[in-house]
Structure 1
Amino acid sequence: MRYHLKGRRVLITGGANGLGRLLALQTAARGAEVVIWDTDEEAGRATADEILSSGGVASAATIDVADREAVHAAAAICGEIDVLINNAGIISGRRLLDATEEEISETLHVNTLALFWVTRAFLGGMNSRGHGAVVTIASSAGLVGIPQLTDYAASKFAAFGFAEALRGELRQDRSGVTSLTVCPSHLDTAQFDGVRTRFPLLLPRLSATRVAEKVVRGIERRRSQLIMPPLVRTIPVARAMNVRHFDAMMSFFGAGTAMDSFNSREQRSRTSPQPDSPD
């Protein structure tokens, strides 16, 4: 049975820019009331205003989802949520010894721990009402570790495990709430500027608009997992190989050099401002 979004309340973390903004626009187009949580106050308000100007219902709040107390306070004000899309995320793109301790900590707090704080704030209400959806925007880097992404990959491996374990708990409880894990490769947003693959036809830079469409359809169809593009779906099977062969295969497809031209947040701030913040 389809889960119709019309009349539902949808909360999107990191909903001001990039993929989050597109998810806000597309769920609003389905008739949902959209609540945006983001640290970018101006962009969050602009996205909400865009929805309001088209006849939708939306609001935006400036929330740091890594701040546990701020999440508690905002959730108490927010009220009931039917669909939670955990989309907020950051990427430093530095090698292990080049990243600062502060950067590593921030990545893990935003990409991983925030999943617990935000989901715990709303899941109980969903369970009591007998319906809802929790969407975890993970990454293909949650399926395979990539050089220069040690903190990011660790955070996304954790996000993948979080969503999978949550799915098991919901199944055991026979809850009407679904857990959807989304693992896209790099998107055409500012967050992934400079990421390259050796075979772009097999591992293309994904359209964030198309990914948002698939996520919204996945919610409606009560899907449990979305992995994009198709080649990434072979990674779990490839892990049955000898580790040396698996690593050689990853190198062949360019995993070792994908981040060589990556533009970090610090580099982007020193050049020109970008229309999209991290998703």
Structure 2
Amino acid sequence: MNLFLELLLFLATLLYSYLEAFVKLFVPVRRKSLGGELVLITGAGHGVGRATALEFAKHQSRLVLWDINKHGVEETAAECQKLGATVQTFVVDCSKREEIYSAADKVKKDIGDVTILVNNVGVITAADFLSTQDHQIERMFEVNILGHMWTTRAFLPVMMNNNYGHIVTVASAAGHFVTPFMVAYCSSKFAAVGFHKALTEELSALGKNGIKTTCLCPVFINTGFVKNPSTRLGKILEIEEVVQALMEGIVTNHKMVFVPSNQSIALLLERVFPERALNLLKKMSEVKFDAVIGQRSAQ
């Protein structure tokens, strides 16, 4: 096909896509059932992980819950069981590849094939770059991206064989927009967003369209991990509204879920506005939180 015909095909596809998107504004989105799915959630002992487990329990999913905190994950399991869900728990440090693979083998052998994987576990340190300790940087990458990769590698083969499944990456708005005093955290979340996008493209290239992917990117959530966050862009999010948006994204097979949704507009503006204007907008937004500030002494 010559370049002119390819250009015509592109324009026709572009027009069709816009028309399709317009029609979908008035047509109810097709939603899939979550009943009976075997759902594995990492970092399920608290916060977004716990609330997500409870939502899946309400949908009659079977649950496998991982967390480094035994007490926390067992509390989540008890709440899910009250909703009628079947739940198994594992104490797993998702910064350790060997623990992930060992626990995954037990899940596959004793429970069954995971059909929905929610890579939720994450850690954060808020400090200026030079004050962030080496071990803190390493742990953020070990948990926030490498842990997601090892868990996905453990459960993806069966999904590939069946051409069926759903992989959820809980990332952050910090995977699209940078914030001072969170250099390592933003870097790890950029990696998580990149992992989601690259994996999505690879599954498509391999013809595995039965495996869906969703990436969650919220702004600051009221979980207590970041002290006293505030911004003029809007209120700090509550866990429940973030998880509701995530569940909607999963049942509608939405690839990228921004909370709030107007982040997608901000992402577009960042690409088209000149740097001087962007810097002024950032100052106007006044994103603030309590962070450790001060250069680490050389050791």
TM-score between the two structures when normalised by the length of structure 1: 0.88
Higher relative contact order (CA 8 A, sep 6+): 1
Question: 1:58-79 CA deviation, whole Å, 9 max, x = no partner?
Answer: 1111101111111111110011
Shift of 1:262: 5.0
Shift of 1:129: 1.5
120, 135, 153: which is aligned to 2:186?
153
Contact kept, 8 Å, 2:68 with 2:91, in 1: the verdict is yes
2:34 is equivalent to residue 5 of structure 1: yes
Shift of 1:214: 1.6
Tell me the SS of whatever aligns to 1:252: helix
Assess, with a 3 A threshold, how the Cα gap between structure 1 residues 46 and 5 changes in structure 2: closer, same or farther.
same
| 1:33-52 paired onto structure 2 within 5 Å | 33-52=62-81
Aligned residues: 258
| 1:45-64 paired onto structure 2 within 5 Å | 45-64=74-93
Q: Which amino acid aligns with 2:78?
A: D
Tell me the SS of whatever aligns to 1:211: helix
157, 160, 171: which is aligned to 1:127?
160
Tell me the SS of whatever aligns to 1:174: coil
| 1:240-251 paired onto structure 2 within 5 Å | 240-251=272-283
| CA–CA distance in structure 2, aligned partners of residues 172 and 181 of structure 1 | 19
Tell me the residue number matched to 2:222.
188
Structure 1: which 5+ residue stretches go unaligned?
Answer: 264-279
| 1:194-209 paired onto structure 2 within 5 Å | 194-197=228-231, 199=232, 202-209=233-240
| CA–CA distance in structure 1, aligned partners of residues 70 and 191 of structure 2 | 28
Give the fraction of aligned pairs with identical amino acids, expressed as a percent: 29
| CA–CA distance in structure 2, aligned partners of residues 179 and 220 of structure 1 | 11
2:54 is equivalent to residue 25 of structure 1: yes
Tell me the residue number matched to 1:15.
44
Tell me the residue number matched to 1:109.
142
Shift of 1:186: 0.8
Contact kept, 8 Å, 2:34 with 2:60, in 1: the verdict is yes
Tell me the residue number matched to 1:219.
250
Contact kept, 8 Å, 2:57 with 2:84, in 1: the verdict is no
Comparing 34-43 with 187-196, which one deviates more in the overlay?
187-196
Give structure 1 regions of 4+ aligned residues with deviation exceeding 4 angstroms.
none
Q: Which amino acid aligns with 1:94?
A: A
| CA–CA distance in structure 2, aligned partners of residues 159 and 76 of structure 1 | 24
277, 285, 290: which is aligned to 1:253?
285
Structure 2: which 5+ residue stretches go unaligned?
Answer: 1-29, 293-299
| 1:137-148 paired onto structure 2 within 5 Å | 137-148=170-181
Q: Which one has the largest radius of gyration?
A: 2
Question: 1:91-118 CA deviation, whole Å, 9 max, x = no partner?
Answer: 1111101111011111111111111101
Tell me the residue number matched to 1:271.
none
Question: 1:118-159 CA deviation, whole Å, 9 max, x = no partner?
Answer: 111111111211211101011111111100110110000111
Q: Which amino acid aligns with 2:252?
A: R
Q: Which amino acid aligns with 1:243?
A: E
The two structures, once aligned, show a CA RMSD in angstroms of: 1.6
